[in-house]
Amino acid sequence: SGVVHVKNPHLEAMDEDILYHLDLGTKTHNLPEMFGDIKFVCVGGSPNRMRAFAQFLRQELGLAGDGEELADICAGTDRYAMYRAGPVLSVSHGMGIPSISIMLHELIKLLHHAKCRDVTIIRIGTSGGLGVETGSVVITDTALDSSFKPRFEQVVLGEVVVRSTELDKDLAEELLACSKEIPDFPTLIGHTMCTYDFYEGQGRLDGALCSFSSEKKLEYLRRAYEAGVRNIEMESTAFAALCGLCGLRGES
């Protein structure tokens, strides 16, 4: 039906839902009026990058102003930043699964309370390429964990919950088709591997700790490539799992 689902029966019994880390709430803000016509949400790690992206979108959409006057909707908190450009929200999510998970829980509730429909959410971020040309854009079809499995594992009340990390294949193909209009960026569809760590988790040799040899690193990266991995980052499994469960058309 295009609606944004929240899979939490407790929300209906709450007198007020406070989106703590976005500095928004159902009593303090008219969320349907503020966000009801949102159709696209683009998320990325850096607040400055997402502000610049919103300014770029305003120019592309032909909106009035030069974008310098863009206000941070979440200015009352220093956790995340949110900007609007017409029907598009540009939101920062910080670095890593814990940070993006907190933001997505509150963003999805925001879209639900605002009665948004047919929302597409796209994560835009830097990543480490694997066997691809430098500067390539990798469109994720499936997010994999560090064992090359399409799953997101989370411990809930002491038990491991496993969730699917499939992303919208049709949206991936649409984005690939759009990329043909931009010749400066080689673009491909592939698996994205999500890790919990930037250093040892991604096989880097320059962290404060390193428990493996360069030969072991290369052997692991070869196995990742053979499993279809074309880039490595730290948010995609949580992103894919939450979007899929809540009825959001998502791509990373």
Binding residues: 79, 123-126, 202, 204
- Helix, strand and coil content of the chain, in percent to the nearest 5, comes to 30, 25, 45
Note the residue count of the chain.
252
Say if CB 93 and CB 125 are below 8 A apart.
no
CA–CA gap between residue 128 and residue 36 (Å, rounded): 36
CA–CA gap between residue 4 and residue 31 (Å, rounded): 14
Say if CB 101 and CB 194 are below 8 A apart.
no
Q: Binding site for substrate, residues?
A: 202, 204
Helices (H) and strands (E) in the chain, counts: 6, 13
Nearest to 26 by CA among 36, 34, 18: 18
Tokens representing residue 123 in the block: 């994560």
